[in-house]
Structure formats: C-alpha cells, structure tokens
Structure 1
Amino acid sequence: MAADVLQRDLGLTADGLAALTGAFPAAFALAMLPVGVALDRYGVKPTALALLAIAAAGSLLGAAATGPWSMLAAQIVLGIGCSGMLMCPVTYAAKTMPPQRFGLWGGIIQAFGNTGMLLSASPLALLVDHAGWRSGYVACALLAAGAATAVALVVKEMRAAPQAPRSMLADVREVLALSLSRDIRGPVVIAFASFAAVLGVRGLWGGPWLMEVKDLARVPAGNVLLACTVALIIGPAVAGVLERRFQRHRSAILVAGHLGAAAVIGLIVAGGPLGWGVAADVVLLAAFGLLISAQVICFALVRAAVPPERVGRALSAMNMSFFGGAAVLQALSGLAASAGGIGAALLVFAVALTICSVAFLRLPGPR
C-alpha cells in the first residue's frame, strides 16, 4: 500500500524494495532457532513479552528511517520481534490441546491473527494518504505495546517440564536437525512456498499490481485487497474444521489448496493483458486467500509427528521454512519484476507453489 512512496522517499528501485523488505522474513526465519528453544525452555509468556518489546523498537526504527540502510536495520529488528507472533500462541495451543483438536485451534489462531491484515488494506491506504507512511510504523509500535499489555495481563504461564541440562547450542542443533528430518520433511518443503505466496501476493505486489497495472488509486486498491484479507481470515478457520473432519485426507486438502492458489495467481496475471475488470481481481484475490489458507494443516501435521516436549522446536523448524522461503522468493520476485514487470513477480510464487506441492507428495513425512 505504500510501495510507491517508500521507493520515492528512500531512493529505492522495485527490486531494491523487494530485497529490502525480504530482510524481514529472513530475520524472522533465523530468529526461529532461538525462539523455538526459548518456547520450550522458558515458556510462552516471557518469550512473547520479550519479542513484542523488540517488535515495538523495530517499528519505531522504521518510522525514523531516512534511507535504505536504516530501513534495512528496522526490517531486521522487526523480523526478530515478530518471529513469535504466530509461534507463541500456536505453541501454547500445542502444549495444552490434544492432537485431534490442535488442527482446529491452529486454524482459529491464524484466522484471528490474520484480522490484523484488515488494518493494512484500506485503513493503511487512508493513513498513508493523510499522514504519510511513517505513521504506519508508529501505529505498529502502539499495537505491539497493546499486545504486550494484553499478554502480561491475560496469559497464564505453564511451568515447563523438567529437562536434562543442555547447552543452547545443542538445542539450536536440534531445531536444525528437525527441519531436515524425515519426520517433518514434507510439511517443511511445502511451507517454503506457502507463506511466501501470502506475503508476495497480499503484502508486496498486490497493491502495485492494482495501482500500476489496473490503474486504481491507493484507497480503491486497498478496498480490493480487503477481499483477499477477509478470505485469509475466514480460510484458516475453515481449513481447521476440514482438517479435523477429514484427517485421513488432510494432505490432499493441503496440496489442492496450494495448487489451486498457484492457478489463481496465473489467472490474476492473465487478466492484465486480457483486460479483465476489477471485479475479476476481487473474486480471484478472495479465491487465493481461501485456497492458500490450507497452509494451517502444516502445523497439524508437524504437531502429530513429534512429542509435546519437542513441539516448540519442531514448529519453529517448520516456521523457519515458512519465512526463509518468503525471504528467498521475495528477492527472486524483485528480480523478476525488474526483468518482466509485476506480473512476472507474481508468477514466481505460482511456480514455487507448484514445485513445492509436487515435492511434498513425493517426500516422506506425516500424512
């Protein structure tokens, strides 16, 4: 929603902006190593409070950025701080819910978390138009402070089960080993493209596609993106219900959702030269949000594959792939945008979704 003014004020090209914003998921992915260990060692509440404080600091750094390097620092700090936004509640649910209920609750958690995207559509467009893009970062700092206050007042921490003394390095090695293990290899591979597509379509390139290719103003473009946002709120809860009801077929649901999302991206791009109206983008973006929401099944597959005392590490190992893939594919999409325009950037995610879905079907792992 602010890509154009960010490029202008920070002196960035399209591929430079993609590379710079890719620092966020890259830092996020690397932070998964200590975060996964901290969740199992120290518990959810202290880990969440520490990370929310870092996220607030990163937001203020973003508001004060004056060029590419200072914004890069802000993106890295933000990535570290936001690395627990999903993992903390998901790990809390994994440690307190039986496996057969975790898929449903994982979907509810992600659906509730995705409601924050509502703020980054029309409301952010209005804020940028009236107060500038820096005000968006200040608003994020205030949201982080509010979330930290809620965690401090509401979350009841559980005491971690006693464990044999281990070094932090040994714990980190275990997270890395889990990410490559046969136990969760399939979900880790499909996750590589899964969240990258959400960040790429809804976060980075959706706004520029609507404003530059479809000639919409900022606020109308934000209104169109609301369709995708609403779908990303409803979709995870629906996927959670489907996972619980059709557990024997959850892998098929996961793959169908990702291949369907890839096909929808292709249709969105095709609609540019074919001259499809904005109504088609509304429908296709909503369909994309619903289909890609099957990604929550990855969490259920990983939860079912490991014992409770290792669930924080295992979920963090998969989350490394979620956000590591986002960092890699956002950088690739920036190069594609420079070579072939925004449509080429979007197709990077369609190709990645297809490759990773096929690989998931061929790899061992939980089903």
Structure 2
Amino acid sequence: MSAGSAGAQRYAIDGRRAWLVWASAISVYVLAVFHRTSLGVAGVVAAERFEISSSQLSLFTIVQIAVYAGMQLPVGALLDRYGSKRLLGVGLSLLTAAQLTFAFVDTLPAALACRVFLGMGDSMVFISVIRLVALWFSARRSPMLSQLTGLLGQVGALLAAGPLALALTHFGWTPSYAGSAVVGALTGVLLVLFVRDSPYGDQARDALRLRALARGLRNAWHVPGTRLGLWSHFTAQFSANVFSLLWGFPFLVSGEGLSPLVASALLMVMVAASMAFSVLLGSLTVRFPFSRSTLVLWVVAAVVAAWTVVLLWPGRTPMWLLVVLVVVMAAGGPGSLIGFDMARTSNPPTWLGSATGIVNTGGFIATLVAVALIGVVLDHVAPGGPAKWTLEAFRPAMAVQYLIWALGVIQILRYRGKTRRAMLAMDPEGYDALRGGSSTVTFHRPSGL
C-alpha cells in the first residue's frame, strides 16, 4: 500500500509508533486468549457444577468456537470497513461482559449464552491485530510479527493453565472468573489511548461502502492463496486447540491418571513450547517463503506421529512421552499462522481483512468438529459423564482427529498446486524471486479489479 492510495502518511512504517500500536493491541489479544482457554482447566469442575454429560460439556466449546468461526467472514468484512480499533473495542467489551456473567450463572442455558457472547468478542480480536501488523509494518517484518503476535497471545493461555487453575482450587468458580473479567477495563485504557488503525490517512478506508463488503469477501475467497491459507490453518491448529480448550485436561487427569497440578503444568509446557515454535517457524517462513506449505505439512506430520505413539502405547503413557506429545502438538498453533502469510502475499491490502477472516475460520471449524466428535464418542463408550472417563474411553475418542488431518492434508496439496500455478501465471519473475527466497514478493491484481 502506498501513501497515495491510502491518504497522507502520518507515521513511519516500522517506527516507534508502530510498535506502540502493536503492543497495545497485543494486550487485548492476550486477554482474549485467556478468556478463550479459561474453560480448559475447568472442564471437570464445569461438568460437576452444571451436572452435564460429556456431549453437553463439549457444547460449551462447540458454541464458543462455532460463533467464533461463523463471525470470521462478517468480522473480516467489517474490519475492512471500520478498522481495527473499533472492532477491538467492541470485542473487548463483549469478552468482559460475557466472562463476568459466566462467573455467576449456574444453569446450562445461561452458561451457553455467555459462551456465545464470548465467542463473538473473541472473533474480533486476532484478525484486527493481524491487520494492524500488515498496515504498520513492512513486508520484511510482517511474517515474524504475525508469529510473534501468536507467541505473545499464548501468555493468556499460560495464565489460564496456571494461575486460573490455582484460583479455581483456592477461591472457587465465581471469584476466579469475576476477577479475570475486571482486567478488561484496564486493557481498554491502552486500546483507547494508543491504538490507531493505520499510519496513513483514512480516505481509502472511508471510501469503502457497505455494498462493497460482500464483493471483498467473494474476491478474497476466489484467490487460491487464501484457500491454501485456510486449509493450512484448518489442518495445523485444531489438535492443540482441542487439547487446550477442553479435552486435554480431562484426558490427562481422568485418562492418564495425573493430578490436576501436573496436568496444569503440562498445559503450561505446551504453551511455552508454542512460544518457542513461533520464533522458529516465523524465521523459517521468512527464509523459505516458497516452502511455507511444506513447513505446515511437516508440522502436521509431527503432531500425527506423536498422537499415534501415545494412542498405541500399551497402558498409561509415561511422563516423558506426554511431554513429547504436548511439545510437538504446540507447533500446530504457530504452524497455522503461516496461513495468514499465504493470504498476505496473495491479496491486495483492501481485501486483507476479508482474506484474514477467511483463513482464521479454518482451524476453528476443525476444532469445532473435533470437540463435538470426541464428546459423542465419549458418551457412546463411557456414558455417565466424568466418573466414567478412562484411558480406554479416550483412545477411540481422540482418534477422530485422524479424519480431520486426512481431509486437511488433501486440501493443502490441492490448493498448493493451484496457488503456485496462479503465481507463475501472474508474475513469472516474482515467482522466481519467491523460489529464490524473497519474502517481499506479492501476487495480486489491483484491488479494484
């Protein structure tokens, strides 16, 4: 994007103001990840509090993720129209209200309503931050900053796996969730004071009209690189999501026989490993831009291999292997972020919010399906809820992941070929530069076409 196409440039790309905007927006994303994963350590407690079955427990995450995924397309379009700051503000308000209400409800319908609004708020945060990265930072820095965004967001998951788990043990349900909601007000101050939508004037954004939103979504969807990003996100992310959002803690405690404290520690190890993988995969994405889909496939292969060994292990899994599982699985989150870079190089700036929203639906649709299927299988093999959960019940339940991995890998291979052919046809010289390691090449037609 040039200054001429988006109004006068007011702040420097990659400058100090850019870092301040990004840091302030990150605080909102950290809080969103905390709220998103806060049920992960409370699954057993929630099942007892609301007196529900395995399938009913999975409804919490299904509803939350279904709303999140379903909102990505309209949110992506609205992001192109209204900008990141407004959507971050609305998202933060919904997250805070939903979590505060969740602290006091004690019926299943009311709790599910809270998860609906939490999913709505969460859906507005990450893609808003990614759009800020794309506009405030150069193409040379954007891939690493996207990974770093995911990395720092995991601080929220770390806080949910550790401090929140301890708070639930010592203070109970209501004080723990109500206290976490109060942080939203403090985060909102940073948002209001420091976040700006763009380093440029807003003429181009204001020129957009509501009638153009559907066209932007349609255009971004028809770009092969967008769909390659979506399927990369779909395939790499969901296993870690399923584990951290709901079923990992019960699997470790009720299935593998670990104490809640040890299970929480393993979830924290997974978060820490995810942060390390963000740095590694971010640097590899910049260094080998032509092989981004190959990086995703290697990540998926490693996760599949780790789960295969654990599920085939006779008896309970040794601690060292559980550590390997959570560490390898942690690569899935950073691996899925590579999909956003695929969308970045394939779409013009005015479609970027729409394209990012499309990509971001992938992993969460896969998560939704996996969470639901695991709950259904558990109810079939172990009816009766948490008291009946055993390792033998979890083995077939967790095996449903293979169906989703298979579909995702097929689609990645399919759209990788389409994307590369489209790049070659559009810009043969740029295609050669990409193969040579240039991460600044983009392949898109002017946004007005």
Cα distance change of structure 1 residues 292 and 265 upon mapping to structure 2, 3 Å threshold: farther
Q: How does 1:215-226 map to 2 (within 5 A)?
A: 215-226=257-268
Q: Does 1:80 find its partner at 2:120?
A: yes
Question: Given the alignment, which residue of 298, 308, 322 partners 2:339?
Answer: 298
Report which stretch shifted further, 37-46 or 341-350. 341-350
Whole-Å separation in 2 of the counterparts to 1:123 and 1:147: 19
Equivalent of 2:410 in 350, 354, 358? 358
- Give the Å deviation of 1:269: 2.4
1:161 CA displacement: 4.0
Q: In structure 2, what is the equivalent of residue 211 of structure 1?
A: 253
Q: Can you list the C-alpha shifts for 1:128-155, whole angstroms capped at 9, x where unaligned?
A: 1112233342233123223222212222
Question: Which consecutive unaligned segments of at least 5 residues does structure 1 have?
Answer: none
CA separation of 1:172 and 1:79: change in aligned 2, threshold 3 A? farther
Count of residues in correspondence between the two structures: 366
The equivalent residue for 1:349 is 401
Q: Which structure has the higher relative contact order (CA within 8 Å, separation 6+)?
A: 1
| Correspondence 1:186-197 to 2 at 5 A | 186-197=228-239
1:66 lines up with 2:106 in the alignment: yes
2:3 match: none
Is the partner of 1:345 in helix, strand or coil? helix
Q: 2:283 maps to what in 1?
A: 241
Query: Is the CA contact 1:103–1:300 (under 8 Å) kept in the aligned structure 2?
Result: yes
1:93 aligns with 2:114: no
* Residue 30 (structure 1) aligns with: 70
**Which one of the candidate residues 364, 369, 377 is aligned to 1:323?**
364
Does the CA-based 8 Å contact 1:23-1:76 persist in structure 2?
Answer: yes
Q: Mean alpha-carbon deviation: is it higher for 184-193 or for 170-179? A: 170-179
Match of 2:376 among 326, 329, 335: 335
* 83-92 vs 191-200, which moves further: 191-200
Distance 1:62 1:284, change over 3 A: same
| Distance in 2 of aligned mates of 1:332 and 1:34 | 27
Matched letter for residue 306 of structure 2? V
Aligned equivalents of 1:169, 1:41: Cα separation in 2: 11
1:45 to 85, 95, 106: 85
Residues 233-272 of structure 1 mapped to structure 2, 5 A cutoff:
233-271=275-313
Matches of 1:123 and 1:346, distance apart in 2? 27
Q: TM-score, normalised by structure 2?
A: 0.76
- Local SS of the residue matching 2:371: helix
Distance in 2 (alpha carbons) for counterparts of 1:13 and 1:250: 41
Aligned-pair CA distance for 1:40: 1.4
Q: Any conservation in 2 of the 1:193–1:349 contact (CA below 8 Å)?
A: no
Give CA-to-partner distance per residue, 1:96-138, whole Å, 9 cap, x none. 2233432111001110111111112132221111122333422
Does the C-alpha gap of structure 1 residues 173 and 131 become closer, same or farther in structure 2, counting only changes over 3 Å? farther
Q: Secondary structure at the match of 2:331?
A: helix
**In the alignment, which residue of structure 2 is the partner of 1:104?**
144
Deviation (angstroms), 1:180? 5.4
Contact residue 55 and residue 77 of structure 1 kept, 8 A: yes
- In structure 1, what is the Cα distance between the partners aligned to 2:189 and 2:259? 37
Gaps of 5+ in 2: 1-40, 382-392, 424-449
- Over the residues paired in the alignment, what is the CA RMSD in angstroms? 2.2
Change (3 A) 1:184 1:332: same
Between Structure 1 and Structure 2, whose CA radius of gyration is higher? 2
* Counterpart for residue 20 of structure 2: none
**Identity among equivalent pairs (%):** 23
